[in-house]
């Protein structure tokens, strides 16, 4: 081997080792909430705690641009771990979410419903349990809300953003070749027609009817008409109207889960977390959410009431 080839090999090896060292440090400093591998199950009977925080959306959704998300696929994997582990006698869902997309909320609702048919599930609303997040809590045996939480906002809305007037002012024209009159419905390059607005409203009402029926199937409401206006409620208001079963703390929710699971009062609580990424996943960049091309409209985004600050 010639000297230049030896140098090239040495340089390549040095670069590889440097990357490996950086990745190793990154693994050590990776957020602690991602530290538990899925294959490690706790010993002894316990209450499984699963947190659902942020917007409910798939990792490929445009809603990821609005901050952290709870991906139904990740939460479903944690629910499966809890259901499959015979030592996990009950599950507590700690919810702090304003809602999210229709499909993601629907997906997670069905996963929670399936888990609740196999083991006792208690939902605890920490700050937000509104819209799609409230739908997720519905199959639980009981819903406990924090005294300062916001609950409900049962409803659906759809947003279409257009900037056709801005483009006109800038002298920009967009030509769209389409196979049918409604193929580009919701296009940001033009205004909605009356026909399109009516069609989108029908879609929203269909989704709302599904949401409404689920609430009625799971809850006994004292004033359904008030609930289905889409308004949010404080915890005490939600208790009065029948949206939740109690107002309390996470400890209260855990205490109830222990009772439902037949556990002693001192049974431990184990939080189930996503697996820690491997070194090769970090090297290959698989730990970051992929952002492929997605439709310009989220069919359903049920967003929260205004942020409250004491």
- 56 — phi, psi (to 5°)? -85, 105
Distance CA 206, CA 208 (A): 5
Which contiguous run of DSSP H or E holds residue 170?
none
Q: Give the pLDDT confidence score for residue 266 in this predicted structure.
A: 94
Can 7 be counted among the known catalytic residues?
A: no
68: closest CA among 29, 34, 107, 37?
Answer: 34
Can 179 be counted among the known catalytic residues?
A: no
May I ask the CATH architecture of the domain 33-162+193-283? Alpha-Beta Complex (3.90)
- Catalytic option among 131, 149, 153, 187: 131
Residues of the chain where predicted confidence (pLDDT) is lower than 50: 27, 30-36, 38-42, 64-66, 281-282, 285-310
- Catalytic option among 183, 222, 236, 291: 183
Q: Give the pLDDT confidence score for residue 40 in this predicted structure.
A: 46
pLDDT in tens, 150-186: 999 998 888 788 888 888 889 998 888 888 888 888 8
Strands annotated E in 117-234:
121-130, 142-145, 150-152, 232-234
């Amino acid at each position: 081997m010639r000297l230049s080839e030896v140098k090239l090999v040495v340089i390549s090896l040095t670069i590889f080792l440097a990357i490996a060292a950086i990745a190793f440090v990154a693994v050590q400093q990776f957020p602690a909430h991602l530290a538990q591998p899925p294959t490690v199950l706790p010993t002894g009977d316990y209450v499984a705690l699963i947190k659902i925080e942020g917007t409910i959306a798939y990792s490929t959704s445009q809603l990821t641009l609005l901050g952290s998300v709870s991906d139904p696929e990740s939460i479903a994997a944690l629910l499966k771990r809890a259901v499959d582990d015979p030592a996990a006698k009950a599950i507590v869902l700690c919810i702090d979410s304003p809602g999210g997309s229709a499909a993601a909320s629907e997906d997670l609702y069905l996963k929670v419903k399936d888990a609740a048919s196999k083991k006792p599930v208690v939902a605890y609303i920490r700050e937000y349990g509104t819209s799609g997040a409230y739908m997720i809590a519905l199959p639980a045996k009981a819903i406990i809300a924090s005294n300062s939480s916001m609950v409900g906002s049962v409803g659906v809305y759809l947003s279409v953003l257009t900037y056709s007037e801005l483009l006109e002012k800038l002298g920009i024209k967009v030509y769209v070749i389409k196979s049918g009159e409604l193929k580009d419905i919701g296009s940001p390059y033009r205004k909605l027609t009356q026909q399109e607005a009516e069609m989108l409203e029908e879609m929203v009402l269909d989704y709302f009817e599904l949401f409404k029926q689920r609430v009625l199937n799971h809850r006994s409401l004292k004033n359904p008409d008030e609930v289905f206006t889409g308004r949010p409620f404080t915890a005490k208001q939600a208790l009065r109207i029948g949206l939740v079963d109690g107002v309390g703390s996470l400890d209260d929710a855990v205490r109830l889960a222990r009772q439902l699971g037949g556990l002693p009062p001192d049974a431990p609580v184990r939080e189930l977390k996503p697996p820690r990424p491997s070194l090769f996943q970090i090297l290959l960049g698989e730990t970051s959410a992929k952002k492929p091309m997605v439709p310009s409209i989220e069919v359903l985004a049920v967003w929260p009431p205004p942020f409250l600050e004491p």
